[in-house]
Amino acid sequence: MEKLDWNNLPFGYIKTDYNIRCVYKNGKWGKLEVSSSEYINIHIAATGLHYGQEAFEGLKAYMGKDGKIRLFRWEENAKRFVYSADGIKMASFPVEMFREALFQVIRLNKKYVPPYGSGATLYIRPLLYGSGAEVGVKPASEYTFLVFVTPVGQYFKGGVKPVNMLICRDVDRAAPLGTGTFKVGGNYAASLRALMAAKEGGYASTIFLDAREKKYIDECGPANFFGIKDNTYITPKSESILKSITNMSLIEIAKSIGMKTERRQVPVVELSTFVEAGACGTAAVICPIGKIFDPEKNKIYEYCRDGKPGVATMKLYNKLVSIQNGDEPDDFGWMTVVE
């Protein structure tokens, strides 16, 4: 194993020792198999390649001060993985096998779990795709599941440092009744034009609006949006966004620290009323938003003018991260000790 600089890891791919695979054939799932190869052998007519029959998940394992490795709300990821599979007509991967695969892959790659205090974590990426051959547009009859892990640092650079975001009005990530609530690769492909344009303009990410009216906030690239005002945590309700497990958790944390919470449509114009704003997700954790630029209206919405995250954002962040690291009692019952 190459020596890793735990404090400065990118959010990228670093090879680990093992991954786990499993194949669905003749109507049933086979056994979990351990592999040390980084490659898959795939049929040239696999539906995953041609018709986007592919879904994935993302979750993290955390090393505690006590040397225990913990997973955050893995059952929620398992359930969403089933929901995404159903959404694009794939054979779903059973929740109990998902747990077993996660535990195995973490234990086999234990030495890659970043140390406590480094700010880095072990990112776990389960994947499911149609591996059976079809040429007509229809679901495959064979599927492959795999899960790999990779140690990662922050997704949005610079610790809990505010980033700027660009409102996107010329690309839709997902249609209202489309695949936006499923974690399928096609949504990410659809987001790339907008994301690259935002990056070229010096923004950390793009903020997608509802595709129907372009009136409401949808989400922030690969993370959900939240705004804060009047001691209230407000997050968009939309039929085209991924239901973030981090966001669900922040709603509960906000309530537990005496904040009010609202999940409802958030009009773009409301951005001028928020005192704080942020993006949240497994990779993003909580990323405070410094400024949002709306090119059509030539308007800048500004939060954290002193370059520092707001008080409420930091309260939510500290609470979430200390639960995940095992520093605080797991009052919500979110953590599972793997080893």
Catalytic residues: 183
In whole angstroms, how close is the CB of 239 to ligand PLP at the nearest point? Answer: 14
Tell me how many residues contact ligand COI (CB under 6 A).
Answer: 5
Contact range with ligand COI by CB under 6 A, out of 22-30, 35-43, 61-69, 281-289: 281-289
Number of Cβ within a 10 Å radius of residue 272: 10
3-state secondary structure of 219: strand
When the beta carbons of 280 and 312 are compared against ligand PLP, the nearer one is 280
CA 111 to chain CA mean position, Å: 23
The conformational region for residue 52 under phi > 0 = left, psi -120 to 50 = alpha, else beta, is: left
Q: Quick one: which of 246, 313, 324, 325 contacts ligand PLP (CB under 6 A)?
A: 246
Q: Quick one: which of 198, 228, 283, 289 contacts ligand COI (CB under 6 A)?
A: 283
Q: Quick one: which of 52, 58, 87, 267 contacts ligand COI (CB under 6 A)?
A: 58
Using CB under 6 A as the binding rule, the residues of this chain from 213 to 232 that contact ligand COI are 222
Alpha-carbon gap, residue 286 to 177, rounded angstroms = 28
When the beta carbons of 55 and 268 are compared against ligand COI, the nearer one is 55
When the beta carbons of 222 and 236 are compared against ligand COI, the nearer one is 222
The conformational region for residue 298 under phi > 0 = left, psi -120 to 50 = alpha, else beta, is: left
Which element (helix H / strand E) includes 190?
helix 185-200
Alpha-carbon gap, residue 14 to 9, rounded angstroms = 9
Alpha-carbon gap, residue 294 to 296, rounded angstroms = 6
In whole angstroms, how close is the CB of 339 to ligand PLP at the nearest point? Answer: 23
Q: Quick one: which of 282, 313, 324, 325 contacts ligand COI (CB under 6 A)?
A: 282
Using CB under 6 A as the binding rule, the residues of this chain from 75 to 114 that contact ligand PLP are none
Contacts of 162 by beta carbon, 8 Å cutoff, 6+ apart: 287, 288, 289, 290, 291, 303, 304, 307, 308, 309
Q: Quick one: which of 9, 165, 223, 289 contacts ligand PLP (CB under 6 A)?
A: 223
In whole angstroms, how close is the CB of 155 to ligand COI at the nearest point? Answer: 6
Q: Quick one: which of 130, 153, 281, 309 contacts ligand COI (CB under 6 A)?
A: 281
Contact range with ligand PLP by CB under 6 A, out of 26-34, 114-122, 135-143, 245-253: 245-253
Contacts of 276 by beta carbon, 8 Å cutoff, 6+ apart: 227, 228, 229, 288, 303, 304, 309, 310, 311, 312, 313
CA 138 to chain CA mean position, Å: 28
Using CB under 6 A as the binding rule, the residues of this chain from 163 to 222 that contact ligand PLP are 219, 222
Q: Quick one: which of 167, 245, 253, 254 contacts ligand PLP (CB under 6 A)?
A: 245
When the beta carbons of 134 and 179 are compared against ligand COI, the nearer one is 179
Strand partners, 335: 72
Q: Using CB under 6 A as the criterion, which residues of the chain lie in contact with ligand PLP when the complex forms?
A: 58, 219, 222-224, 242, 244-247, 281-282
- Per CB under 6 A, residues contacting ligand COI are 58, 222, 281-283
